[in-house]
Each structure stands twice: as structure tokens, then as C-alpha cells.
């Protein structure tokens, strides 16, 4: 098994996932959508296992291999979250984002050309990054919800509050998990679990601003007012994710990519 055969597995999985999502929305059957999505996941997992065997090591070393795992885990966690919270759109969203990663892997595989520096070669690499990306996806969705409520008014959109809160709790849960995995990894790689390097500082700022949001109602701040925190927090999140390397404080940091 090698990367040349990826396209077949990927296409079969994608077809299963999309028809599965369609079935969730349109079909009256209680199990059809689930069965299709699970089958797609099994096909995809089959490729990962076969690739793992032929490589002789877990496929976590190159950029392309980590994207392969993203594509898988995004749909898996999207599905688990869907089973828990019944958000069909979240299932659709995770399949769509996964497809983007699959397409990147098909067009630009980067399977052996990328040299992974020794500090990145760790079992923590994939879960740390994957969990963060999932968290970003949830918090992005929560921000969209918040903007809709702030723009259109709260009257007919009370149901949104519950949805937004759920997304923020789930997203913050993933965010904290990603941060702590990063801490454990940093201890193994650099000898220190937390050094306040710029990426860590910004990760903390992001987490703290979402903590502000979830604690605000407990301090008597109304739901509508605290919604304003979310777009601000998401801007901070984007700086953490994409902007840190451009900041003066990050010059000379090794934690940028």
C-alpha cells in the first residue's frame, strides 16, 4: 500500500460521507446516515492501517501524513459530537473541512520532501495539532452564531444561546486539552512544560478570553452582553494560530510555523 492508492480510498470515503450527511438530512431511516458515515470511516482507517504497515512506523512523520490523520479524525470527532449533540450541520462541516485536507494531500502530498525537525518528531505532534484544529472549528462556528444573534437581535433566536454555549464549552474543552498535551510534549522536548514563549502566551490569552465568556453569566453579566466577547476572542484566536510569527515578541522563537 502506498500513496498512489490513496486517491481510490479517499474518493470512496468521500462518497460515503457525503451521501451519509445527505441521508441524515433527507432520509427517514434512523440508521442509513450513520451506517454510510461509519463505512466511510472504516475505508479511510483501512488505508491508514495499510500505510502504517507498509511504512513500518505510524504515518505521523511528514506534513502529508499528519494531514491524512486530520482528515480522518475530523470526521471521526465530528461524528462522535453529532451522536452526542445531534448537530447535523456540524457533521456536514467536519466532512467539508476534511475534504479540503484530502484535496491538499492529493494535489500537494509533501510525503517525503518535508524534513521534520527532531523536536517535532513526537507522538504528541498529531493529537496536539488535531485537537487544536478541532477546537478552532468549534469556536469559529460559535463566533458565527454570536455574530448572527448580535446582528439580528435576540428575540427569535433564544435557541442560539444554548447552541453557542455548547459550542464554546466543547471548543474550550478541546482548546485546554490541546494546550495541556502541548505542555506534556514541551516537557519531553524542551525540558519545560511552560516557558511563556509567544505561542504559549497567545494560547493562554485565547483560552483566558473564552474562560471570561463562560464565567461572565456567573458574575451577573447578561447573555447578550457577554456575546460581544466571542468575536473579540476569535480575533485573538486567529492571532494565536496565524499571526504570532509576525509579532515583535516572537522574533527568535522556535515555536512558530
Partner 1 sequence: MDRESKSGQKTFINERIIIIAIVIAGFALQIAAGPFDYSIISFPVNVIVLAVMLLLLLVKPSGATGRFGSAKVSLCLLAIITLMCLYMGIVANNGVKTSWPFVLTYLLILINIILVIGKRIRQFKWKDYGFYLNHIGLFIFLFSAGLGSADLQRYFMRVYEGKVEWRGENTKTGELTDLPVAISLEDFSMDMYPPKIAIIDKRNGETFPAGKPSLMESFEGSSGNIGEWSVKVDSIKDRPGVAPAAYIIAKNKNDGGTLAGWISCGNYFQSFKTLDVSDIYCFAMTYPEPKRFSSKVEVFTKRGLKKSGIIEVNDPLTAGSWKIYQYSYDSNMGRDSEYSVFELVRDPWLIPVYIGIIMVMAGAVTLFWKGGRK
Stretch that binds partner 1, among 15-23, 35-43, 67-75, 205-213 (CB under 8 A): 205-213
**Residue 209 lies near partner 1 (rule: CB under 8 A):** yes
The answer to the question of residue 180 lying near partner 1 (CB under 8 A) is yes
Q: How far apart are CA 155 and CA 144, in angstroms?
A: 17
Is there binding between residue 73 and partner 1 (CB under 8 A)?
A: no
Q: Is residue 82 at the binding interface for partner 1, with CB under 8 A as the rule?
A: no
218 makes contact with partner 1 (CB under 8 A): yes
Cβ-based nearer residue to partner 1, 52 or 204: 204
Is residue 193 involved in binding partner 1 (CB under 8 A)?
yes
Residue 155 cell numbers, joined: 428575540
**∠ CA 134-135-136 to the nearest 5 degrees?**
90
Tell me the backbone φ, ψ of residue 194, rounded to 5 degrees.
Answer: -155, 120
Q: Are 147 and 99 in contact (CB under 8 A)?
A: no
What 188-193 contacts at long range (C-beta under 8 Å, 24+ apart), as own/partner pairs, is 188/122, 188/124, 189/119, 189/122, 190/119
Q: Which stretch binds partner 1 (CB under 8 A): 9-17, 39-47, 52-60, 179-187?
A: 179-187
Binding to partner 1 by CB under 8 A, coded x per residue (else -) over 235-254, reads: ---------x--xxx-x---
For 253, other C-beta atoms within 10 Å of its C-beta total: 15
159 touches partner 1 by CB under 8 A: no
**Does residue 170 interact with partner 1 by CB under 8 A?**
yes
Amino acid at each position: 500500500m502506498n500513496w498512489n492508492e490513496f486517491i481510490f480510498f479517499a474518493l470512496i470515503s468521500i462518497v460515503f460521507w457525503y451521501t451519509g450527511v445527505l441521508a441524515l438530512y433527507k432520509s427517514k431511516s434512523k440508521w442509513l446516515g450513520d451506517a454510510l458515515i461509519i463505512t466511510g470511516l472504516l475505508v479511510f482507517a483501512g488505508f491508514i492501517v495499510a500505510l502504517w504497515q507498509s511504512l513500518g512506523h505510524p504515518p505521523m512523520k511528514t506534513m502529508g501524513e499528519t494531514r491524512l490523520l486530520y482528515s480522518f479524525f475530523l470526521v471521526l470527532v465530528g461524528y462522535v459530537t453529532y451522536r452526542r449533540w445531534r448537530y447535523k450541520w456540524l457533521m456536514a462541516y467536519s466532512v467539508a473541512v476534511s475534504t479540503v485536507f484530502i484535496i491538499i494531500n492529493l494535489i500537494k502530498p509533501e510525503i517525503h520532501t518535508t524534513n521534520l525537525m527532531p523536536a517535532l518528531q513526537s507522538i504528541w505532534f498529531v493529537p496536539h495539532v488535531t485537537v487544536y484544529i478541532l477546537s478552532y472549528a468549534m469556536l469559529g462556528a460559535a463566533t458565527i452564531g454570536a455574530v448572527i444573534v448580535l446582528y439580528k437581535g435576540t428575540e427569535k433566536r433564544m435557541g442560539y444561546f444554548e447552541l453557542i454555549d455548547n459550542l464554546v464549552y466543547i471548543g474550550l474543552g478541546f482548546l485546554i486539552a490541546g494546550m495541556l498535551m502541548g505542555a506534556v510534549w514541551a516537557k519531553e522536548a524542551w525540558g519545560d512544560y511552560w516557558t511563556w514563549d509567544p505561542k504559549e502566551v497567545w494560547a493562554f490569552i485565547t483560552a483566558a478570553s473564552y474562560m471570561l465568556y463562560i464565567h461572565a453569566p456567573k458574575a451577573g453579566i447578561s447573555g447578550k452582553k457577554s456575546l460581544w466577547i466571542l468575536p473579540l476572542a476569535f480575533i485573538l484566536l486567529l492571532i494565536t494560530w496565524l499571526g504570532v510569527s509576525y509579532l515583535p515578541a516572537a522574533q527568535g522563537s522556535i515555536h512558530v510555523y
